[in-house]
């Protein structure tokens, strides 16, 4: 490969085990993330990633350059050209022999070959490879432009070594949903491909299923339908990454029930009917007898320092007094109303009338939504979500539509889904053949900060559930893929337990937060300019952040 410069170790800027500098001709074009190679001790090679490219001249000060231009004459011509050069800061990635010695002054610096770049980036020998995009290097070096597929190691993405993914970026431009669905498609292709891992050790692939919450319009309600006019560049990228450029397989949809066809969903009656007629669509309900234990999920956004709302829920769920007679949601509301009048029902005196009135105000509106029903009628393609998720199988994608529900009900459904999966993986669900339960269940939800934000009440049952999954999910086989606009707004214990992070386009105010303090400034500056289809990703297997690109989605996206 082309030699691009030589190492320069100065008194003020020495080479170290972490970084080195090298000079390069002015006409040599390099970019951040390009990989370079320097000979080191014992015939080893040290790999570095370009971080900054600087240009200097022999001018001692800006004043000198001003004076040399005839005291600021913009048309003045220099009689003597300034001596100038470029120098590059490179971050050390690793060494072929593990020798962590600084590279020596004057050593030649060259571009890495494809195999060397893979070794440098930790992707040369990946067990259980899951495509996460590709990196482009030497884009401006004539004849040297290189595209390298990049892979996550499955055990560091969905466990057991590491788990959970956090994706952040501003709305619209960061393509958070598209990138997550790209990864899910890569995982499904790998899981449904059959056989054993491609690393030759004969290790059996784990079974994996996916639960996706649709929170925006009809974005994720066409996963089994092919994209219209998928560009050849994207199709070629899928093929280079070893992913079939076809939509998802084994997709099931759950729409919130409503007496009117579109009362609780943005999907048209035709779309809902089409999914049902294909045998891949259902309408979900919550029935009092089976789902009253989920009642605390309606109060996840309520600050309850005294625990009175939690106590009210406990009274209802345990059937204290007349609450034991309630058999429907309406009967429950009637009993709550009876506790709201002075001198009302006396079986819960430890909870004040004022507290019952607050409780009624909080639950009355959501409980009057049509998803809270008296019964489920399977003949009309109706299900309970908790029961439907018990039948989740390897490779399946279960899409739960919550986009049109208000924020309280969205949180309720999300919390219920998490608890149902948690109980399933813990073996607390009766009548389920444990041998058929997937080894890993991946849950994807956008706007994660709504449910696990840094400002959520500490007593929120959904926050507690998300934190528990973040901290224990890896060992249980429950994996959380979460996305949000601002990473800083997500709870510390949730994002801190994510093994993989992906950063899309982000504004400068967000980048000033402590969550980005460990990222080199040149990469933070790049985050402000990232385009759709571009991400900076970190993973335990990578020696540092990687700048990757990924293709357009293979499924139909509504305009």
Of 187, 207, 205, the C-alpha closest to 249 is: 187
What distance separates the 2 farthest-apart alpha carbons in the chain?
Answer: 99
Q: What percent of the chain has pLDDT over 90?
A: 47
pLDDT of residue 429: 80
The CATH number given to whatever domain includes residue 32 is: 2.40.30
pLDDT of residue 355: 86
In a domain, 273, yes or no: no
CA–CA separation, 395 vs 149, rounded Å? Answer: 24
CA–CA separation, 520 vs 505, rounded Å? Answer: 16
Mean pLDDT of 31-55: 91
pLDDT of residue 199: 47
Domain-ending residue, one of 113, 142, 172 = 113
Sequence length of the chain is: 559
Angstrom CA distances, 30 to 25, 87, 150, 287, stand at 11, 11, 20, 62
Render pLDDT for 140-152 as a digit per residue (tens, 0 to 9): 666 677 888 999 9
Statement to judge: residues 109 and 175 lie in one domain:
no
pLDDT of residue 454: 83
Statement to judge: residues 243 and 161 lie in one domain:
yes
CB 334, CB 367: distance < 8 Å: no
Statement to judge: residues 244 and 329 lie in one domain:
no
Sign of the CA dihedral with 503 first, then 214, 533, and 171 last: negative
Report the number of distinct structural domains present in the chain. 3
Statement to judge: residues 94 and 156 lie in one domain:
no
In a domain, 331, yes or no: yes
Angstrom CA distances, 204 to 79, 137, 185, stand at 72, 34, 20
Mean pLDDT of 156-165: 91
In a domain, 18, yes or no: yes
- CA angle (236 as vertex; 230, 242 as ends), nearest 5: 115
Sign of the CA dihedral with 110 first, then 114, 117, and 119 last: negative
Of 308, 336, 312, 298, the C-alpha closest to 461 is: 298
pLDDT of residue 326: 85
Of 458, 541, 423, the C-alpha closest to 150 is: 541
Mean pLDDT of 226-240: 91
Judged against a pLDDT cut of 90, whether residue 554 lies above it is answered with: yes
Point out the least confidently predicted range of 339-343, 521-525, 534-538: 339-343
| Confidence tier at 200 by pLDDT (50, 70, 90) | very low
CA–CA separation, 186 vs 307, rounded Å? Answer: 44
In a domain, 30, yes or no: yes
In a domain, 279, yes or no: no
- CA angle (491 as vertex; 489, 497 as ends), nearest 5: 125
Dihedral (Cα; 251, 482, 156, 193), 10-degree rounding: 10
Domain-ending residue, one of 92, 113, 134 = 113
Statement to judge: residues 161 and 236 lie in one domain:
yes
pLDDT of residue 352: 84
Residue 537 belongs to domain spanning: 151-250+438-549
Its pTM stands at: 0.89
Statement to judge: residues 25 and 92 lie in one domain:
yes
Domain-ending residue, one of 307, 338, 367 = 367
pLDDT of residue 191: 85
Find the helix or strand (DSSP H, E) in which 6 lies. Answer: strand 3-7
Judged against a pLDDT cut of 60, whether residue 348 lies above it is answered with: no
Statement to judge: residues 226 and 305 lie in one domain:
no
pLDDT of residue 414: 93
In a domain, 421, yes or no: no
In a domain, 429, yes or no: no
| Mean predicted lDDT score pLDDT of the chain | 87
The CATH number given to whatever domain includes residue 232 is: 3.40.50
In a domain, 401, yes or no: no
Statement to judge: residues 102 and 166 lie in one domain:
no
| Confidence tier at 202 by pLDDT (50, 70, 90) | low
**Residues whose CB falls within 8 Å of the CB of residue 334, separated by 6 or more in sequence, listed in order:** 326
65-79, 255-269, 383-397: which is most confident: 383-397
Alpha helices in 193-247 (DSSP H): 232-240
CA–CA separation, 270 vs 465, rounded Å? Answer: 36
Statement to judge: residues 160 and 63 lie in one domain:
no
pLDDT of residue 196: 40
Judged against a pLDDT cut of 50, whether residue 201 lies above it is answered with: no
CA–CA separation, 265 vs 444, rounded Å? Answer: 19
Statement to judge: residues 461 and 545 lie in one domain:
yes
- Residue 511: both structure tokens together: 């980048």
Higher pLDDT, 291 or 319: 291
State the residue for tokens 């007898």: 289
Statement to judge: residues 31 and 84 lie in one domain:
yes
pLDDT of residue 198: 45
**112-117: long-range contacts at Cβ-Cβ below 8 A with a sequence spacing of 24 or more?**
112/1, 112/35, 112/36, 112/37, 112/47, 112/137, 113/1, 114/146, 114/148, 116/35, 116/37, 116/45, 116/47, 117/35, 117/47, 117/146, 117/148
CB 471, CB 497: distance < 8 Å: yes
Render pLDDT for 275-290 as a digit per residue (tens, 0 to 9): 999 999 999 999 998 8
């Amino acid at each position: 490969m082309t030699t691009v410069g030589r190492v320069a170790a100065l008194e003020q800027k020495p080479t170290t085990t972490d970084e080195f500098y090298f000079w390069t001709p002015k006409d040599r074009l390099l970019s951040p993330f390009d990989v370079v190679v320097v000979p080191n001790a014992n015939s080893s090679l040290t790999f570095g990633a370009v971080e900054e490219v600087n240009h200097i001249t022999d001018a001692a000060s800006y004043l000198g350059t001003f004076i040399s231009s005839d005291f600021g004459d913009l048309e003045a011509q220099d009689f003597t050209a300034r001596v100038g050069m470029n120098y590059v800061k490179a971050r050390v990635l690793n060494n072929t022999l593990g020798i962590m010695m600084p590279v020596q002054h004057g050593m030649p610096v060259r571009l890495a070959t494809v195999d060397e770049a893979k070794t440098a980036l930790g992707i040369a020998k990946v067990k259980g490879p899951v495509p996460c995009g590709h990196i482009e290097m030497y884009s401006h070096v004539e004849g040297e432009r290189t595209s390298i597929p990049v892979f996550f190691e499955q055990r560091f993405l969905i466990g057991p070594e590491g788990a959970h993914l956090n994706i952040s970026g501003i709305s619209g431009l960061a393509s958070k949903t598209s990138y997550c669905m790209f990864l899910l498609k890569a995982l499904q292709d790998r899981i449904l491909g059959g056989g054993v891992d491609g690393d030759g050790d004969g290790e059996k692939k784990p079974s994996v299923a996916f639960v996706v919450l649709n929170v925006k319009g009809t974005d994720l309600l066409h996963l089994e339908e092919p994209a219209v006019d998928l560009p050849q560049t994207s199709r070629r990228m899928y093929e280079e990454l070893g992913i079939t450029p076809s939509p998802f397989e084994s997709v099931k949809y759950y729409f919130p029930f409503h007496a009117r066809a579109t009362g609780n969903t943005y999907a048209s009656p035709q779309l809902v009917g089409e999914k049902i007629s294909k045998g891949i669509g259902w309408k979900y309900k919550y029935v009092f007898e089976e789902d009253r234990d989920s009642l605390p999920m309606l109060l996840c956004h309520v600050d309850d320092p005294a625990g009175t709302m939690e106590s009210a829920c406990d009274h209802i769920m345990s059937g204290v007094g007349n609450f034991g007679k309630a058999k429907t949601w309406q009967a429950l509301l009637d009993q709550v109303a009876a506790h709201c009048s002075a001198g009302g029902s006396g079986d819960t005196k430890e909870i004040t009338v004022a507290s019952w009135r607050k409780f009624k105000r909080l639950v009355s509106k959501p409980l009057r939504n049509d998803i809270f029903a008296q019964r489920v009628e399977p003949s009309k393609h109706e299900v309970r979500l908790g029961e439907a998720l018990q039948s989740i199988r390897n490779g399946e994608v279960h899409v739960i539509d919550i986009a049109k529900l208000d924020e309280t009900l969205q949180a309720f459904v999300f919390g219920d889904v998490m608890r149902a999966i948690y109980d399933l993986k813990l073996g607390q669900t009766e009548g389920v053949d444990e041998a058929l339960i997937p080894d890993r269940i991946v849950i994807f939800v956008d706007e994660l900060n709504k449910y696990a934000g840094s400002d959520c009440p500490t007593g929120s049952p959904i926050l507690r559930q998300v934190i528990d999954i973040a901290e224990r999910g890896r060992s249980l086989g429950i994996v959380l893929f979460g996305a949000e606009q601002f990473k800083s707004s997500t709870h510390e214990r949730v994002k801190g337990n994510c093994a993989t992070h992906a950063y899309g386009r982000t504004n400068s105010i967000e980048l000033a937060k402590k969550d980005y303090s460990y990222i080199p400034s040149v990469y933070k500056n790049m985050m402000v300019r990232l385009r759709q289809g571009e991400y900076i990703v970190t993973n335990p297997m990578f020696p540092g952040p990687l700048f990757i690109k990924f293709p357009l989605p293979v499924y139909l996206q509504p305009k």
